[in-house]
C-alpha cells in the first residue's frame, strides 16, 4: 500500500529512470574516433552522464566552453547521440515494476530532466513511456534548469498537485537541491551515475535507494 502522504512521484531521467550511459558513451566515443582520438571506457564516462553534454565533452577533450571548438564538438556529439538514442538504453532493473505499481495504484508519475526536449521526447517514445507518464518536463520546458526548483514546480502544475505531496528521485546533487527547494520529499538514486568523489550523504535528501524497487519499500 502506498503512503497517502506521497500522491505523486517525479523522476530524473538519465541515471535514475533509465540507464542511458551506454548510448551516450557510444556517441562520445564515436566523436573521439572521428577526431582521431582513443575511445574512453564506459566506466570513465558513466559518472559524467548526469552532468550533461557539456561535462561529457569537457571530459573527453579536456577543454572548456570557452574553447573555439567546443560548440562544434558538443553539437556533433548530440547529433550522433540523437541518431543512436535507444540502441542500448533501457529502464534500470526493477523500474518497470515500480512504474506498474504506481499505475495500478493510480499514483501519477512524471519526468523532470535537464535533457533538452528534442532528445527527451524521442527517447521516451523509444522506451514506450510517452503515453504512460503523466508529465514530461525537459531542460528547455521552462526558463530555468535544475538545480532551480522551477522545472519541478512546473511539473506540479501539470499534475495539479502540491509539491509537499510529491516525491522526487534523482542521482545528482542538483536533483536533490531542486527537490528540496521545491519543498518535495527527495530520494538519492544511489544506483545511478554517482562519482566516487560525490558525497550524496551530504546532499540533504530524505533518503537513498540502492535499487529502484526500494522506492516502493521507502514510500510503503
- 55 and 159: one domain? no
Band (1; pLDDT cuts 50, 70, 90): very low
- 29 and 126: one domain? no
| H or E segment and range at residue 172 | none
- 39 and 66: one domain? yes
Nearest alpha-carbon partner for 98 in 88, 109, 89, 90: 109
User: 182 near 189, Cβ under 8 Å?
Assistant: no
Condensed to tens digits (0 to 9), the pLDDT of residues 69-88 reads: 999 999 999 999 999 999 99
HEC secondary structure over 176-198: HHHHHHCCCEEEEECCCCCCCCC
Q: Considering the candidates 14, 19, 23, 171, report the single residue annotated as catalytic.
A: 14
Q: Of 83, 103, 131, which residue is a domain's last? A: 83
pTM of the model: 0.94
Condensed to tens digits (0 to 9), the pLDDT of residues 164-219 reads: 999 999 999 999 999 999 999 999 999 999 998 999 999 999 999 999 999 998 88
CA 144 to chain centre: 16
Catalytic annotation present for 14: yes
Q: Of 29, 60, 83, which residue is a domain's last? A: 83
- 95 and 174: one domain? yes
CA distances from 186 to 64, 87, 120 (A): 31, 30, 22
Q: Whole domain around residue 121: which residue ranges?
A: 8-19+90-219
Q: Considering the candidates 3, 12, 195, 206, report the single residue annotated as catalytic.
A: 12
Catalytic annotation present for 62: no
- 52 and 149: one domain? no
Query: pLDDT value at position 123?
Result: 98
Amino acid at each position: 500500500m502506498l503512503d497517502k502522504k506521497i500522491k505523486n512521484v517525479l523522476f530524473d531521467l538519465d541515471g535514475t529512470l533509465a540507464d542511458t550511459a551506454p548510448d551516450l558513451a557510444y556517441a562520445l566515443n564515436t566523436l573521439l574516433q572521428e577526431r582521431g582520438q582513443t575511445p574512453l571506457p564506459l566506466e570513465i564516462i558513466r559518472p559524467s552522464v548526469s552532468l550533461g553534454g557539456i561535462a561529457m565533452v569537457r571530459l573527453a577533450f579536456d577543454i572548456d566552453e570557452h574553447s573555439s571548438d567546443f560548440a562544434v564538438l558538443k553539437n556533433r556529439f548530440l547529433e550522433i547521440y540523437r541518431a543512436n538514442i535507444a540502441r542500448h538504453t533501457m529502464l534500470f532493473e526493477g523500474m518497470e515494476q515500480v512504474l506498474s505499481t504506481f499505475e495500478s495504484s493510480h499514483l501519477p508519475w512524471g519526468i523532470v530532466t535537464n535533457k533538452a526536449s528534442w532528445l527527451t521526447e524521442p527517447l521516451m517514445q523509444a522506451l514506450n513511456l510517452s503515453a504512460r507518464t503523466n508529465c514530461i518536463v525537459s531542460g528547455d520546458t521552462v526558463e530555468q534548469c535544475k538545480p532551480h526548483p522551477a522545472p519541478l514546480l512546473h511539473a506540479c502544475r501539470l499534475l495539479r498537485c502540491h509539491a509537499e505531496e510529491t516525491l522526487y528521485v534523482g542521482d545528482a546533487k542538483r536533483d536533490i537541491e531542486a527537490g528540496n527547494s521545491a519543498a518535495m520529499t527527495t530520494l538519492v538514486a544511489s544506483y545511478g551515475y554517482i562519482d566516487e568523489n560525490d558525497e550524496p550523504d551530504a546532499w540533504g535528501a530524505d533518503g537513498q535507494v540502492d535499487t529502484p524497487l526500494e522506492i516502493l519499500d521507502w514510500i510503503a
